[in-house]
Structure formats: C-alpha cells, structure tokens
A and B are shown apart, each in its own frame.
Chain A
C-alpha cells in the first residue's frame, strides 16, 4: 500500500514538475526580434540604433532571465508590410522568437501586431506612429511604447496655443493620415481657445511647397502646422526657410518630427520650429549618461524611438521575471500592471489598450546662436503630463477593453 502511494506520488511529482519547468521559458531561450528599416528613410531614427538599444537593454538586465540566456535578432523589413509579415511569421514559427519590437512604419506595425495576435506573441511597437495600434486595431498582445500621432499632435496643439500661438494654418498631406492629423489638431486648437484660419492640401509625396507656403504666409496665422511626415515635412521646412516664414514672425509646428530630422535639416532651416518629443538626450544627468553610452556604440545621439526600444525590451524582460514565464498572455498581463521607470520614462503606465503613457515634452528648435554644437538642438518649453499627453483609453475605440 505504502509502496504504491510512494510510486504514485513520485509519478505525480514528475508529471507535475516536468512540464512546469519546460513551460516557464519556451525553447530554453528568450529571443527578441528587432524588425526595422535598416537602409531606407527611417534607418536614421530606428534601424541599427534600435538593435544597439535592444542589446543595451539585455546587457543592463544581466544577460539572462529566469536563468535562461537572452538573444537579440534583427532584420530589415525595407518598409514593406509583406516582407515584415513573412519575416515575423518565420521568426515565430521556425526560430522561436518571443517578442518583436521597433516596427517602424505604421503599415508594418499594424500588420505584425496582427501576426502577434494570431500566434500569441507580444509585439511592442516603438517606431510606428499610428494611434490606431492601440485604438481600432488594438490587440491584447500588442503594445505601443514611445509615442503616437495623438500624443505628438495633441502635445504640440495644446502647448503651442497655451504659449501664445493661437491662430493656425495647416499644410496637410492629401491622404487619410494627413486629414486625420489636421482634424485632430484643429479640434485641440479650438478647444484651447485658438482659431484655425485656413488649410491647404498638398499631394503626397510632394517636393514643391512654394504655393502652399505662400498661402500660409498670406493667411497671417501665427502658427503654420505641418500635418505631414517624413520627406514632405523636411521639404516644407527647407522651403519655408527660403521664404523667410520664421523671420516674418510666423512659427512652424511639425506634427510628426524627430531630432534626426533637425540634425539633417540644420538649425538654420529649422530654428524656431515647435515639435513634441517623447524624450530628449539633454533632459538630465541620467539621460545624458545613457546617450553618451549609446553614442559610443552608434556614433550619434539616440532618438526617442531608439530609447523607446531600450525601455520596451527592458520592461519586457522585467515582466517575464515577474510573471515567471514567457507565455505571451501572462507577460502581457504583467506588463499592464507594472509601472515603467527607466531612462526613457519616469512613472510611465501601461493602459489596458496597450498604450504606454508617459510625460511628453514640447520643444522649440534653437537658433544657431543658442546652440553649443552638434546635437544641441532643442529647448524644452513645457512638460506635458502623461495623462494629458496620451489619449484616454476609454475614448480610443479599442475593443479589447470595452
């Protein structure tokens, strides 16, 4: 009798312990995939820098989680959603990748988030802008980390009006993204007591902004809002400098801009421009130290996307440790319950729709005289608290939480 009980309990013990240890970490390794643009338009603001940032996060975490090694893999999606999707599927199906991050370009992030939903994997978009990731298309496994269109537009809209820029004229890219951006910011400007005196739409993509800038100049608005992105924004700012818009007393407001854009434009063209950013290297001692470490490896200062990738990877690893497993559902739950405190965000909170809310900063580009040299580009005008910077999840249209 006793013998049998012993045998049975031993059996139960092996059965119970066997799968449990095997389940904790699938594939005996944590694999983090950085899927980004390595060579084209977004390579500067994400690209190799994001891979370096992810590796720094692994290093800072200690190289292992729950006693298992952590590996970072990366691939170039060339800004094509179909390449990104097949790579993501291959990573998950054949190579055991546990989490995919960076995902610059909204079409890529939206598509890969769907793959994550289907395959039960955590995706953490840091590079993509679209608020839709945590809105209409939100997923219980999808997170959006560094910034989004809402926070950039909202931050710039609110803060600029409060700082005296109460009449706006928009130069808008003529497609859904531009229209949405213009609509969002117009509402915010009006809600804060400002006025919108006019708007003009330009074809996407465009290289000649002369006629649009002339209309903006003639409108007499204090602020010319650029509801476009990428090369359109760059071209518009360059040509605005040629027209002397800033000298004429008007200010530009970029609604989707990065510090690397300022770097390539130069302060002469970009001076006086308002923009919202989720992070800047020159905020405090901690950010300066981190940026210096990053610069040693990458040869340039990090963008908010790259630091965002660092923060996302670090938070993911912390969540695995806390959850005691790498199963995506449990990790996602833990991520939602943990505050984010690292070099990127202080007191950041992850909303139920997957949006990580943190303080954003309204910045104005320095004049060449104010700047002390390379990368000294921004004056932080105003800190936008997390709750105001990001959209209230209840209004995001995310079906997961409602």
Chain B
C-alpha cells in the first residue's frame, strides 16, 4: 500500500493510522473542489467556526478545562480585525495578525486569573471575565455598540492580491484553517500534549510527577485563545461584519455545543460539529421558527445516541487496525 510506504518513509511526522491519512486526503481534496458546489462564503464561515471549536477543544478535550468565556477571544478578535481593516487600513494578513495577538494577550490575562481555580469555579471566572469583554464591546466607541462594525473592506492580501472575489478569499481562508488545524494537531501530538492529557486524566498525579501543572494550563489556555483569535479575526474578514453576537455568552455556549456534538477530545471532531451546527443554522433558516427546535432535537438525539460525539463514536466503532 502506498500509504504504508509513505508511513515508513516518514515515520515520525506521519505517525498516525492509515485511516486517518486516507480520510485526511479525502477531506483536503473535497475542500479544494467544494467551492464549485457549495456557496464559498458559507464554507469560509464554517472553516472559521471549525477552527474556533478545534481551538476550544484543546482546552476542553485535551486538558479537561471547561472555559465558558471563549467568545471573548473570538469576538474581540473579530472587532480588532474589522477595525484594523476598516479604520487603520491594514492589509488582511496584518489585521488578522493583530487580532490574533490581541486574543493571545487577552488569553494570558484570563488564564492568569482563572487557572488558580478548578471545575465550576474555573468556568465561572472565565464567564465573568468574558462578560467584562462583552461590556467593553458594548461601550467602547470604536465597536459601534449593538450595531457593530459594518462594511469591513476585504482589502488586498500582502497589498496586491485582491480578496474581494469569494474564490480567492476561499483559498486564503483555507490556508489559515489548515495552518490552525495543523497547529492543534502538532500541539496534541507533542510531549507537551502528552502532559496536557496527563493533567486531564489526573491532575494530582501529574503534579506529583513533578510537572508544573499551572504553567502547562497557562500555556495551553493562551494557545487556545490565540487560535480562537485567529478564527475570529478571519471571520470578520469573511462576513465583513463584527457584531455583538460574537462576544455574547451564547457564543461561548455554542462552541461547547459544537465541540460536544463533533466529539470532545478528537482532533477533527469539533470541526465536524461546527459544520453540522452551521449547516443547520444556514440551511434550515428558511423553515422559520422550526430551526431552534430542530437543532434542539438533534442535540438531544446526539447526547442519547452518540455519547462520544459524531467523530468520537466513529472512532470507537472502527477500531484502529494498525495500532
């Protein structure tokens, strides 16, 4: 098999089962041709939320920390990116970079306060801090209050590649998305990721083995916030709007839903979950008042039937043959 020979040649980097490689290649191929069939703006939005959910999953799925304030990173990044594009006239890549840095810094502040507590207290502190960000977004003059920032220009990538065409923008967003997913994958499959999982399984034991648990939590929190910021900053570029929706606590809840639906603690599960939730929101929107009911029913069915989430359940049903 060609994929196993590939595995022999690249034993360290491609250290994953054949199924995953094949699935990965199929998904990548699909992502390249999908904009021919599905409306590209929807796909780009789905990728932004997928990246957001995967970043969130670093905390919930791999470290066992439930943050209920991730909307703060996603939303503030979309405001910064929108403002940088519209008012400061940044090029898209610089605007997204600024947004990502903002979220990294914000993540550091959040983590510095929150990691001192466990469980529900941790979640409540992150919620409280994100409500402060919501308040700031509502009050600061540059955010436009409840109207948000509209008509964000897409600008030109590196100053010369015009992004106003949906197809061109699609490949830029795809590149960011793949970079983000690769970062998540690399973090999880590193010695650092192993320690995170150790903390998730038994924090006291990890501590007794000599690991500075708080330090690891701080770093993974900042990483998760940074990638959420990357997703949020990109989203503002895609939909050309930054609004309060992205910083409300409901958004923090939505990303938990996406992660649980797709499969907590799997690399690609949250991406699948995000796509499912967004597809429901988008394609059922013409059904009117039934949307929320249908999403609710699907969530109930998932909780009852796929406890591990969509991808988690698939992984459990098809055991890995080469491991």
Contacts and interface: CB of A to CB of B under 8 A. Distances in A.
A76 B285 contact: yes
A175 B281 CA distance: 29
19 contacts: A38-B289, A38-B291, A75-B285, A76-B285, A76-B291, A81-B243, A83-B281, A83-B282, A89-B41, A107-B241, A110-B150, A111-B151, A111-B241, A111-B243, A114-B150, A132-B147, A174-B139, A175-B138, A204-B138
The 9 closest A-B pairs by CB, nearest first: A176-B145, A114-B151, A81-B243, A38-B288, A39-B289, A75-B285, A82-B239, A80-B245, A76-B285
Given A74-B286, A175-B145, A177-B146, A86 B291 contact: no
A204 to B, nearest CB: 7
Tier of interface size on chain B? 20 to 34
Interface in A127-179: 130, 132, 137, 174-177
A280 B32 CA distance: 54
Interface string B263-307: 000000000000000000110011111011000000000000000
A24 interface: no
Interface in A200-257: 204
B45 to A, nearest CB: 6
A304 to B, nearest CB: 21
A75 to B, nearest CB: 4
A38 B245 CA distance: 17
Interface in B127-160: 138-139, 141, 144-148, 150-151
B285 A48 contact: no
A106 B144 CA distance: 11
A79 B241 CA distance: 13
Nearest to A229: B146
Interface residues of A, number: 39
Contacts of A204: 138
A54 to B, nearest CB: 13
B286 A75 contact: yes
B182 interface: no
B288 A90 contact: no
B148 A74 contact: no
Contacts of B45: 82, 86
B240 A78 contact: no
A366 interface: no
B39 interface: yes
Given A39-B291, A76-B288, A86 B146 contact: no
A77 interface: yes
Nearest to A74: B286
A112 to B, nearest CB: 9
For A39, A51, A176, which residue has the most chain B Cβ atoms within 10 angstroms?
A176
Interface string A175-194: 11100000000000000000
A91 B287 CA distance: 15
B67 to A, nearest CB: 22
A47 B289 contact: yes
Given A76-B288, A85-B239, A93-B41, 10 more contacts: A75-B285, A80-B245, A82-B246, A87-B285, A106-B146, A107-B146, A111-B150, A111-B241, A176-B145, A176-B147
Contacts of B141: 176
Contacts, number: 110
Contact of A94 (B39, B240, B244): B39
Which of A107, A114, A177 has the most chain B CB within a 10 Å cutoff?
A107
A73 interface: yes
Nearest to A39: B289
B235 interface: yes
A154 B246 CA distance: 33
B282 A86 contact: yes
A73 B286 contact: yes
A43 interface: yes
A89 B240 CA distance: 11
B289 A76 contact: yes
Contacts of A94: 39
Contacts of A86: 39, 41-42, 45, 239, 282
Contact of A78 (B241, B246, B285): B285
Given A38-B291, A114-B151, A176-B146, A107 B244 contact: yes
Contacts of B289: 38-39, 43, 47-48, 76
A32 to B, nearest CB: 14
Contact of A82 (B146, B241, B285): B241
A47 B291 CA distance: 13
Given A90-B39, A93-B39, A177-B145, A81 B245 contact: yes
Contact of A39 (B139, B147, B241, B288): B288
B289 to A, nearest CB: 4
A78 B147 contact: no
**Among A76, A82, A174, residue most surrounded by chain B Cβ atoms (within 10 Å):** A82
